[in-house]
Structure 1
Amino acid sequence: MVMKTAAIIVAAGKGVRAGSPTPKQYQSIAGRPVLAWSLERFLARDDIDTVLCVIADGAGALYDAATIGFASARLRSPCTGGAARQASVHNGLKTLAGQGFTHVLVHDAARPGIDDDTLDRLMAALDTVDGALAALPVSDTLKAGGDADVIARTVDRTGLWAAQTPQAFAFDRLLAAHEKFAEREVTDDAALAELAGIAVKLVPGSLRNMKITRPEDFAIVERLLMETTYEFRTGHGYDVHAFEPGDHVILCGVKIPHTAKLKGHSDADAGMHALTDALFGAIGLGDIGDHFPPSDPQWKGAASQVFLKKAVNEVVARGGSITHCDITLICEKPKIGPHRDAMRMALARIMGLAPDRISVKATTTERLGFTGREEGLAAMATATVRLPERL
Structure 2
Amino acid sequence: MAKSERAAAILVAAGRGLRAGAGGPKQYRSIGGQTVIFRAMEPFCRHPQIFAVQPVLNPDDTAMFNDAARGLRHEAPAQGGATRQASVHAGLEALVPQKPEIVLIHDAARPFVSPALISRAIDAVARTGAAIPAIAVADTIKLIGESGDVEATPERARLRIAQTPQAFRFDVILDAHRRAAREGRSDFTDDAALAEWAGLTVATFEGDVANMKLTTPEDFVREEARLASQLGDIRTGTGYDVHAFGEGAHVMICGVRVPHPRGFLAHSDGDVGLHALVDAILGALADGDIGSHFPPTDPQWKGAASDRFLKYAVDRVAARGGRIANLEVTLICERPKIGPLRDTMRARISEITGLDISRVAVKATTSERLGFTGREEGIAATASATIRLPWTHQGWSA
Deviation of 1:363 after TM superposition, in Å, equals 3.5
Answer whether contact 1:325 1:359 (CA < 8 A) is retained: yes
Structure 1 residue matching 2:163: 3-state secondary structure: strand
Partner residue in 2 for 1:9: 11
Q: Distance between the aligned counterparts of 2:312 and 2:71, measured in 1?
A: 8
The corresponding residue for 2:134 is 135
Q: Secondary structure at the match of 2:217?
A: coil
- Deviation, 1:14, is 3.4
Secondary structure of the equivalent of 2:385?
A: strand
Asked whether the equivalents of residues 273 and 383 of structure 2 are also in contact (C-alpha less than 8 Å), the reply is yes
Output the amino acid matched with 2:381: A
Q: 1:196 to 1:226 in 2, by over 3 A?
A: farther
Summarize the Cα distance change of 1:164–1:253 in structure 2 as closer, same or farther, 3 Å threshold. same
1:35-46 correspondence runs (5 A): 35-43=37-45, 45-46=47-48
Paired position in structure 2 for 1:80: 78
Match of 1:108 in 2: 107
Q: How far 1:322 moved relative to its partner? A: 2.1
Structure 1 residues 49, 294: closer, same or farther in 2, change over 3 A? same
Alignment partner, residue 264 of structure 2: 263
Residue 55 of structure 2: aligned partner: 53
Structure 2 counterpart of 1:202: 204
**1:287 pairs with 2:286:** no
Q: How is 1:186-197 mapped onto 2 (pairs within 5 angstroms)? A: 186-197=188-199
Question: Is contact 1:131–1:200 with CA below 8 Å preserved after alignment?
Answer: yes
- Checking the alignment, whether the CA contact within 8 Å between 1:273 and 1:288 is kept in structure 2 is no
Matched, 1:151 2:151: no
Shift of 1:223: 3.5
> Post-superposition shift, 1:111?
0.7
Q: Give deviations 1:103-126, integer Å, cap 9, x for gaps.
A: 222111211222355445534432
**SS in structure 2 opposite 1:111?**
coil
Distance 1:279 1:22 in 2: 33
Measured after TM superposition, the shift of residue 68 of structure 1 is: 4.3
User: What TM-score, normalized by structure 1, do the two folds share?
Assistant: 0.79
Counterpart in 2 of 1:379?
Answer: 381
What is the percent sequence identity of the aligned residues?
46
Secondary structure of the residue that 1:353 maps to in structure 2? coil
Instruction: Deviation per CA, 1:129-176: give whole Å up to 9, x if none.
Output: 222212344425446475xxx725445343444322111112221111
Q: Is the 8 A contact 2:57 2:78 kept in 1?
A: yes
Residues 178, 104 of structure 1: alpha-carbon distance in 2 compared, 3 angstrom cutoff: same
Conserved? CA contact 2:231–2:388, under 8 Å: no
Q: Does 1:125 align with 2:134?
A: no
- The equivalent residue for 2:280 is 278
Cα contact 2:329–2:381 (8 A) shared by 1: yes
SS of 1:240 mapped into structure 2: strand
Q: Please, which moves more after superposition, 311-320 or 110-119?
A: 311-320
Cα separation, partners in 2 of 1:4 and 1:232, compared to 1, 3 Å: farther
Deviation at 1:60, TM superposition (A): 4.7
**TM-score normalized with structure 2 length:** 0.78
Please list the CA deviations of residues 265-312 of structure 1 after superposition, one character each: whole Å capped at 9, or x if unmatched. Answer: 666542233223434555637527955969869975x76545544544
Give the SS at the match of 2:64.
Answer: helix
Partner of 2:241: 239
Question: Does the C-alpha gap of structure 1 residues 86 and 378 become closer, same or farther in structure 2, counting only changes over 3 Å?
Answer: same
Name the residue aligned to 1:27.
Answer: 29
Aligned positions, number = 382
What CA distance in whole angstroms lies between the structure 1 residues aligned with 2:315 and 2:57? 22
Structure 1, 244-253 or 209-218: larger mean CA deviation: 244-253
CA change 1:79–1:53 in 2 (3 A) is same
Q: What SS is found at the alignment partner of 1:209?
A: coil
Partner Cα separation in structure 1 for residue 248 and residue 43 of structure 2: 47
